[in-house]
Amino acid sequence: MIKILTLKNFKCFNKKKDFEFSKLNLLTGINGRGKSTLLQSMLILSQSAGQAADISNLIINGEKISLGNFDDIKNSETTKDESIYFKFLLDNFDEEIELEFIENTKEPLLATIKKRKTKNELIQKFSREISKMHFVGADRHGPVNYTEKVNLPKFLHVGQRGEYAINILANSMNLDNVNDLLYLGNDSKSLIQQTVEWLNYILEGAKIDIRGKDAESSILYMVLNNKQNSYTYKPVNVGFGYSYILPLIITGLIAKKNEFIIIENPEAHLHPRAQSRIAEFFSLVASTGVQVFIESHSEHILNGFRVCALGKDIPLKHDEFIIHYFNENFESEKLIINEKGKIENWPSGFFDQEEIDLANIFNLGNKIQ
């Protein structure tokens, strides 16, 4: 688990900035103020570790994230000779991991390691851990009529747009059963059955059938049923919420202890109750030993996490949930949740728009004769 991440000269962070994390982490706040940049710093290190165990180069464009070239990832307010700096403190490491990268003048899509303050064997251990990072972005696939059959990636993940989701479900009988803490219902603990159970719980009605699994077919397609009858429908005729949430549920169910999950905007296309329940799902996932990072603008996601931190059914304590609020000044503030679920240092602008709008409605309504 990442306990502390320090950034300097990476995109909008020109000065050293420390971020403290726990089992479940929510990033929220003003648009364009550093939330995505913080997540991208982890993703760029993860995909670089997947290419070389010594992380000798920073892979700027890869399977998990594509950020352009060196000028796009280095803070524009610093001089050209200053390096991009990362420092990680993990809970099972005796030392911090420090990495500095400079421009690779021959390969503009790479950054090259400048110097190592950390022993190579420790970097390789860090590389093995950080490479096991699941990421599902905001720009994930909506309903699709079919998908081509592909070999599943060695490190099993759904892809940043959910592109492997249906292939994973088609092969679910060859995969491990889900963690007991995530088991719903009274049927099988297989991945596909538990995906159906969680879809049904979050969206209040769901059945899945994956077709085209026979050897003669080169494509797979999924049909759904969100009603209590025997009919099945193409995803496009069921609603975007099902397609948008599917890769999130699969990711939570396949992630293993000591792996990492990053999810952008889990609330997309979900009504408030479903948003609260997806928060419950990822609270459970975090309790299995998977470190979870969520970027969201939804108060229902926030409050869902707060409820879970107080409830007895989920083994996640209030101090194992951290919120980072990013304000208009490109600064982040760590928000404290007490044992009663209250946020003691609630900042101005943090999920208070509803109260502001209601006050305006009240005031404007009183002026009408």
Determine the Cα–Cα distance for residues 13 and 270; give it in Å rounded to an integer.
32
Give tens-digit pLDDT for 176-208: 999 999 999 888 899 999 999 999 999 887 888
* 296 neighbors 266 (Cβ within 8 angstroms): yes
Q: What is the mean pLDDT of the chain?
A: 90
Q: How confident is the model at residue 110 (pLDDT cuts 50, 70, 90)?
A: very high
For the chain, give me the number of helices (H) and strands (E)?
9, 15
The arrangement of strands across the sheet holding 17-20 comes to 17-20, 2-8, 84-90, 97-103, 110-116, 57-59
Percent of the chain's residues with pLDDT above 70: 96
> H/E element holding 44?
helix 35-51
* 16 neighbors 6 (Cβ within 8 angstroms): yes
Give tens-digit pLDDT for 289-346: 999 999 999 999 999 999 998 888 888 888 999 999 998 887 888 988 888 888 888 8
Structure tokens at 69: 């070239």
Determine the Cα–Cα distance for residues 317 and 308; give it in Å rounded to an integer.
8
Class of domain 2-132+256-365: alpha beta
Determine the Cα–Cα distance for residues 266 and 135; give it in Å rounded to an integer.
12
117 vs 335 pLDDT, higher one:
335
- The residues spanned by each domain of the chain are 2-132+256-365, 147-244
234-263 burial: b if 16+ Cβ within 10 Å, else e: ebeebeebbbbbbbbbbbbbbbeeebbbbb
